[in-house]
Structure formats: C-alpha cells, structure tokens
Amino acid sequence: MSATWRLLDTGLRRAAENIALNRALLEAHQAGEAPHTLRFLRFRPSALIGFHQSPRQELHLDACARAGIEVQRRITGGGAIYFDEGQLGWELYLDRRTLGTADMGAIARRICEAAAAGIRRLGVDARFRPRNDIEVDGRKLSGTGGAFDGDSFLYQGTLLLDFDVERMLRVLRIPAEKLSGKAVAGARDRVVSLRELLGEVPPLETVQRHLAEAFAEAFGVTLEPGGLNAAEEARYREALAEIDTPEWVHLRDAPADEAPLLEGVHRARGGLIRAIVWLDEARDHVKQVLITGDFFVQPRRLVADLEAALKDVPRADLRARVEAFFREHEAALLMLEPADFVAALEAALASPTTDEAARP
Amino acid sequence: MECNGCEFHPELHYDREFQIWVRREADGTLTVGMTDISQTIAGKILHVRVRRPGTRRPPGKPVATIESGKWAGPVPNFFDCVIEEANAEVLDNPVLLNTDPYQAWIARVRPVDGPEAALSGFVTGEEARAGYCERARREDIHCRRQPG
C-alpha cells in the first residue's frame, strides 16, 4: 500500500496569511505534528520578496500602495514576484529522509520535474529549467523556491494561469522596467501564461487535479484531502502575529540606490547588444541581467538560458560565467562571439550610477 | 581527519545531527558555525543574516538564517542564548561558509544558563567523530568545497 499525503487547499487569502501558513506548516512538520502535504494556495494582489531581500530594492512601494497591493516577505529564498488571482500556488511539505537525498538541488529538480509533468497534462510542453524555473519554449510559466527547517522542507511554485505583465512591471523593480516600446515585448516574451498558451484559462479544479495526480504519481503516494490540525492552527496564529507586521516586511531594508540598474550597449558585427545589469553593490554581486538587441542567435531560447545562468553571480566571475555558458551550450551565433556579450555586460557595469531610486 | 571527504574537528562540540559546531571561548561565550556536512548540503551560500546583537534566542529560534540557490532556512539553535556578535566577514562574503566552514564562524553568543548547560546535549571528541562519519555515510553525503 502506498503512503498517504494530505491534500490541503487553503483557497484565496491575503499574503500575510499565506506566508504565516508557510511558517506554521513547516514548523509543525519539523516538530512531527503534521503529515507530508501538497498544498494549493492563491493570493489577493501581492508583491512578495524573497526571504533575504529588501523591499525598497525590489519593489516600487509607492506603486504598490496606490494600487492596494500587499507587500510581504516570504520565508523561502529567491526573487521578488507579483502574485494575484491569476496565479495558482502549489507547495510540498516533506522531509529529506522521505526523498532519500540530502542534496537540495536534486530535491528541487525532482519536484520541478513532477510539477512540469502535471502541467504537460494540460496540453502544454512544460519543462524544468535549472535552477528553479518551469518553462515552455524558453518562456517562464512557473517560478519556484524553498525553505528548510532541520530535515523538513517546504518547496513552492507559482503557476501563471493568467498574467498582467504591465502590472508586474509597475510593481517590481527589475531590469525589464528599463525597457520601453518595442523592447517591452521582449520582457513579455520571457514569461507566458496558460491563457496565452491555450487560448483560455483552464478551470482551476482541472489544473489542481492534474498537478495533484502528477505529484502522486512521481512520488508513488495517494493524496487525501484534509484541513489544518489543532497544532497547525495554533502555530498559524502565532506566526501571523509576527508576519502580519511592518517589522517582518522590513526585516532587511537596504536602500534602492545600493542596487542600481545599469545599462550598456555594445555594437557587434552581428548587431547591437543591449545589456541591463542589476548590481548589488554591497555584495558586489550581479543580481540579474537582461539582454536584448537586434542580433541573431539560435536556438531562440538561448538568451533566456544565458540570463538564467547569470543570476546572482559575483561581479568578478561574470566573464568566466559567460564563457562557460557558451562552452556548455550549442549555439549558432551570426557574426557574434561570446566576447560580444561580455562587452555589453561590461559596458553596463562601467556606466555611471544614475539610478532612479525614487522612481514611481 | 576526514570522513566521506567531510572535515571534522574533535575539539569542537556538535548537535546530534552534526548541523552546527560550537566552540567554547575563555570568556564564557560560545562561537557557532556550520559543519562541512551542512555547507555541502546547503550548496553555495548567497545570503547570511544574523539577528541583532543583544537579541535573546530561545532553543528552536534560529540565531542566523542562510540562503542558497533559492533555498532559505535557519542555522538551527539548540540553547537559550543572547547574540553578542556576528562575523562581519561572513555577512559580507557568505561563500566563506562553503570554502572554509571551520574558520568562517557565524556568530558569538552568550548562553543564558552558562556554557556547561548549553552544551549538555552536544557531543564532542571521538564520540562525535563516530556520529559525524555515520551520518555522512548513512545519507551518502560527500563533502565538497565551493570555489570561492
């Protein structure tokens, strides 16, 4: 007989409640008070930063306030996201012992591959893209991240059912906001929703059923619907009292001008390469890059993969990382060299810091 | 001395799962760090946060948190303590926890009930070595150091 995991659906909630539930369920699992669980969750409009991020560096807080978007800090790692009723959240609460490995990268991969298999049942070609995304033809459909506590862990992902890119760009302080006009289409090309892929948003029940079946199959378990137990309820109330506060949201609060968005252009033989580099000055790390231009590369998704490979890289390692990327990937570059991408990135890093910290 | 490539120091004190190491200091404080096993499991560490000096942390409430490759979590804490100091070098350059886990301490804390009581649940010396190796073998953990 296969093991039974709980299937928990906590419905549409405020961000603070959803994150307090993350904390409560993970702590209860670690304390042996809660079963292995697959949870589905949805959010009222929220801007969620990663556990170690600073709200002022990641978000346009004025825009969030004006639009009534709740700002919250996740307990999981990774970057800032905009989340609303157009996305479905899925989460697994398990332990390393159950999965038979302590390797966090392998755990993330196994879960993401199961989630991608569930999404494929909807009729789209979803694939895991290391380290943490699920994509369709180079466009991100689901982002993921995790939190651990001793042997227990929580691993969560979003699934874009429907998505408002303009709204995301207004809320998040990301390199894509530097783009305008034609280039915004480039930012839009990096994410995709089920509505865009299928022509309509499939019913929520259908999406949840396929995901649940795929997880059950991948882990060889049976899922049984259930609610929160008393221990989890008590931990939830305690967690909410800490998390539903400005102190929690601003736990880390570095100013925006310590993370400038830098822009550079390199004119290569094969076309113009524009690079936007988001730098964390305090750590001398590149947080993220965005590469656009009128150059030609094959496969088309190569630029998205290169951007993914250049997330959170020490500034000093940037060149080596680009070179390693092109060694590891089959690429057809038309009158372009890997060095041209390096040149565009270096042009951005050399540009003066004229960031608009106070930009709405 | 090594075990599955995991470095071990018999003079330090360890929790039962060998997640952290603790060193007794002459002034009654304790220095806390991550073991080679823990840094290997975590992967390349991108962020470290230590609670403010003066903060009291009961058992189960972490002194510090880490993040690596989108995973975030606590450096576990097993005794009631007050944080005295964070290692500024590690805060600036978290990958030191990966490259040199026994030099790169995370925090110095003052145990509320004294070091003796704080370390009563910990293991040290040859007993610790046996447990440390047993965990590495049982979970098939092969320690590796990240390039700085």
The model's confidence at residue A360, banded by pLDDT at 50, 70 and 90, is: very low
Among A220, A3, A10, A207, residue whose Cα is nearest residue A118: A207
CB spacing of A77 vs B71 below 8 angstroms: yes
Q: What is the pLDDT of residues A310-355, one digit of tens each?
A: 988 889 999 999 999 999 988 888 889 999 999 999 999 998 765 4
Judged against a pLDDT cut of 80, whether residue A180 lies above it is answered with no
* ipTM metric: 0.85
Kind and range of the H or E element at B91?
helix B88-92
When CB atoms are compared, the residue of B19, B70, B92 closest to A77 is B70
Phi and psi for A284 in degrees, rounded to 5? 50, 40
Of the pLDDT bands very low, low, confident and very high (cuts 50, 70, 90), residue A169 is confident
Those residues of chain B whose CB sits closer than 8 Å to some CB in chain A are: 17, 19, 41-43, 46-47, 49, 65, 67-74, 76, 92-93, 139-141
Q: Count of CB atoms within 10 A of residue A165's CB?
A: 17
Structure letter (DSSP) for residue A191? B
Q: pLDDT tens digits, residue range A262-285?
A: 989 999 998 899 999 999 888 888
Q: For residues B74-92, give the mean pLDDT.
A: 95
- Mean pLDDT over B69-89 rounds to 94
Average pLDDT value for chain B: 93
CA distance B144 to chain A (A): 12
pLDDT at A186: 64
**CATH classification number, B2-138, choose in 3.40.50.150, 2.60.40.10, 2.40.50.100, 3.30.70.260:** 2.40.50.100
| CB spacing of A77 vs B139 below 8 angstroms | no
Residues A90-130 have pLDDT tens digits of 999 999 889 888 888 889 999 999 999 999 999 999 999 88
How many residues in chain B? 148
Q: Which helix (H) or strand (E) holds B74?
A: strand B71-75
| Cα–Cα distance for residue pair A305/A325, rounded to 1 Å | 9
Domains of chain A: 3-249 (3.30.930.10), 256-350 (3.30.390.50)
* pLDDT number for residue A34: 97
pLDDT of A183 = 53
Q: Verify whether the Cβ–Cβ distance A150 to B17 is below 8 Å.
A: yes
The chain A residues in contact with chain B (CB within 8 A) are 50-52, 75-78, 96, 101-105, 108, 131-132, 144-151, 153, 252, 282-283, 285, 312
> φ, ψ for residue B109 (rounded to 5)?
-125, 155
pTM of the shown model: 0.85
- What ranges do the domains of chain B cover? 2-138
With beta carbons under 8 A apart, name residues in chain B contacting A102. 41, 139-141
pLDDT in tens, A211-267: 999 999 999 999 999 999 999 999 999 999 999 999 999 988 888 888 888 989 999
SS (H, E, C) chain B: CEECCEECCCCCEECCCCCEEEEECCCCCEEEEECHHHHHHHCCCCEEEECCCCCEECCCCCCEEEEECCEEEEECCCCCEEEEEECHHHHHCCCHHHHCCCCCCCEEEEECCHHHHHHHHCEEHHHHHHHHHHHHHHCCCCCCCCCC
- Taking the alpha carbons at both ends of chain A, their separation in whole angstroms is 57
A106 beta partners: none
